[in-house]
Amino acid sequence: MSPSKLHWLHRNEPETFRRIATVLLPHDWLTFRLTGRRTTDRGDASGTGYWSPRQGRYRNDLLELVTDDIDWDAALPEVLAPDAIAGEWRGAGIPVAAGTGDNMAAALGLGLRPGDLALSLGTSGTAFTVSPDAPGDPTGTVAGFADATGRFLPLVCTMNATKVTDTVARLLGVDHARFDSLALEASAGAGGLVLVPHLDGERTPNRPAATGMLTGFRNDATPSQLARAAVEGVVCNLLAGAEALGPGCAHGRVFLIGGAARSLAYRRVVADLTGRAVLVPNDDELVAAGAAVQAAAIHHGRDFSRIADAWELGRGETVEPDDGVDRVAIRAAYADAVAGAAP
């Protein structure tokens, strides 16, 4: 629960707020039900906004902005080390791992290493990597999460991803399969059509009141070009955000995950616009796989990456980029369209 939600509860439901004994995230509550211990982990704790990954401690000064009437030290769960056991499943004697957040577990499921880049495209989009160093971004574009292994998980999030291509498919009157085919029929660059996919505002870049924009629209435009422009716009938008992660993930592996990973058009455009081979994992349940990696590593006292490699997680189909695509020109045209869009 973020400080803003705690503040809302304090302001709007003071009686309920006064009954607070412990503040637990959903997976922390499940751990509590299993073990009787009030614990959390670095990954999920770093998403609260009041635990600092860089400093490795709770920021009680932020929580005291909500109220100083609570003993926050007593109300907050213990943050466990990555290799710690939260306790035993009461009555069963089974060790329970610390657990973690969804993106942190997905990174474990991929066997993500420093230098790798994960692109997740669903309704919204995320780009993340793992790093031995705590990220510092004064603009706020990069969320400086902790990962589940003792490292850090810099992440960028966009609001508009597959819901944009779903909208264009609806306007074209086609289903997902036909939309995919249309996008692949058009040549890279969509004949000059550029779609800025900020349909309902956007958080990266910070354009909360923005709407979408289509440029380069000519009389000879085709449905396939519009489909291709929609996919390219979504991918360009996420890649522009991913640049804020820095050069550290410019030369490692590129993973494409999320619902769009099943789309041949998205696979092709991601490979072409990154100019790098893109790995689409076979496993659709990467968060569950990551939880299994964490449990196995802790139970056997082995390194997380060695467990992931032994299980051959993160393996799948590789899509090579088309060297004939002028990715620089396509991404520059997109950047120009964003710069010319209304704020």
Which residues are CB-contacts of 50 (< 8 A; sequence separation ≥ 6)? Answer: 2, 3, 58, 59, 60, 62, 63
Distance of CA 49 to the CA centre of its chain: 16
pLDDT of residue 301: 67
d(CA 287, CA 107): 8
Fold assignment, 112-283+314-343: Nucleotidyltransferase; domain 5 (3.30.420)
Q: Is the pLDDT of residue 334 over 90?
A: yes
The domain spans of the chain are: 3-97, 112-283+314-343
d(CA 203, CA 209): 10
Which CATH number describes the domain made up of 3-97? 3.30.420.40
CB atoms within 10 A of CB 185: 14
d(CA 188, CA 182): 12
pLDDT of residue 135: 84
Rg (CA), the chain: 22
Q: How does DSSP classify residue 217?
A: -
Q: Is the pLDDT of residue 314 over 70?
A: no
Q: Which amino acid, one-letter code, is at 231?
A: V
Residue written as token pair 């990555």: 82
Token duo for residue 325: 């695509």
pLDDT of residue 251: 86
Token duo for residue 12: 């709007």
Token duo for residue 64: 């005291």
Distance of CA 319 to the CA centre of its chain: 21
Position 58 confidence tier, pLDDT thresholds 50, 70, 90? very high
Q: Do domains 3-97 and 112-283+314-343 have the same CATH topology?
A: yes
- Looking at the annotation, which residues are catalytic? 102
Structure confidence by residue, pLDDT tens digits, 270-311: 999 999 999 999 877 888 888 888 888 877 766 776 666 666
Percent of the chain whose predicted confidence (pLDDT) is above 70 = 96
d(CA 148, CA 94): 21
First CA to last CA distance, the chain: 31
Kindly report the average pLDDT of the chain as a whole number: 92
pLDDT of residue 241: 95
pLDDT of residue 311: 63
φ and ψ at residue 112, rounded to 5 degrees: -65, 135
Mean local confidence (pLDDT), 68-72: 89
